[in-house]
Amino acid sequence: MGAYHFNWFLAWQSFPRFYWGLALGLELAGLSLVIGSVVGMAGAFGRSFGPAWLRLIVVAYVEFIRNIPLLLLVYFAFYGLPKLGIYVFDNVWSFIVALSVYSGAYLTEVFRAGVNSVPVGYTEAAKAVGLAPWQRVRLITLPVTFRIILPSLSNTFISLFKDTALASALAVPELTYAAEWLNVNTFRTIEAWTFATVMYLFAGYGIAFILRRVERRYAVIR
């Protein structure tokens, strides 16, 4: 086997493909975080305050999803749902659905820990000033919960961003798919994967840096 000839220029030429792939990955992760948070919030309240049967369903959902591979879920959303008569999702939305269901399970645990760590005194004080149950949740419990779980949310976002690499299995044109494309079409394998690696690291640690500052800004004062 001959020596490998580097051609960074060829890789550089397809930088837009990588760049927009990165942007799409962040969008996928962001959307899944939002939808997953709604699922997680519902799950956490169901688990903490719901009737026994609802708790059982939430526990089963969380345990089941956390113990199966994301790729299985992704394939199910793309190949399995149409067999159930659900034809509405293209590859991008199938992936978002799968990632949201996946993150919903993790976020249920995150929100549950957050809701449970809101000091009882807050709720009691809210009752004392005469807030209705729904007002207590909306004005006291949720805002405090959000501040408490902010670090967990940003960790979840970063790990979801890394999970968006799996979308390449459905030919969603995100960053990993861009690297695969360059790899297959130009055989610039080392350049392609170096590019993807560097971009994932920069994006990941860049986001972490920004989110740490946001966390500090909104940290709970104790």
Partner 1 sequence: MMHDMSFALPQLLRGLGVTLEIGAIVVTAGSLAGFAVGLSLLYGGFLVRLAARAYVDTIRGLPVLVLIFAIYFALPGFGLRFSAFQSGITALSIFAAAHIAEIVRGGIGSIPGAQVDAAKAVGLTFWQRLRLVILPQAVRRMVPAWVNVAVEIVKGSALLSLLGIIELLLAMQNVVGVTFSPLPFYGVTAFLYFAVNFTISRLGGLLEKRFAYLKY
Interacting residues toward partner 1 by CB under 8 A? 1, 4, 63-64, 67-72, 75-76, 79-80, 83-84, 162-166, 168-169, 176, 179-180, 183, 189-190, 192-194, 196-197, 200-201, 204-205
C-beta of 45 vs 177, nearer to partner 1: 177
Burial class (CB in 10 A: 0-12, 13-18, 19+), 67: exposed
Tokens of 132: 């209705």
CB of 185 to partner 1, least distance (A): 13
C-beta of 111 vs 200, nearer to partner 1: 200
User: Which residues have C-beta within 8 Å of that of residue 194, sequence separation ≥ 6?
Assistant: 11
C-beta of 142 vs 169, nearer to partner 1: 169
Is 221:160 a contact under the CB 8 Å cutoff? no
C-beta of 2 vs 130, nearer to partner 1: 2
CB of 175 to partner 1, least distance (A): 8
CB of 83 to partner 1, least distance (A): 6
CB of 40 to partner 1, least distance (A): 19
**Position 145: which residue type?**
T
Is 22:199 a contact under the CB 8 Å cutoff? yes
C-beta of 83 vs 213, nearer to partner 1: 83
CB of 93 to partner 1, least distance (A): 18
Is 163:101 a contact under the CB 8 Å cutoff? no
The DSSP code sequence of 121-165 is HHHHHHHHTT--HHHIIIIIIHHHHHHHHHHHHHHHHHHHHHHGG
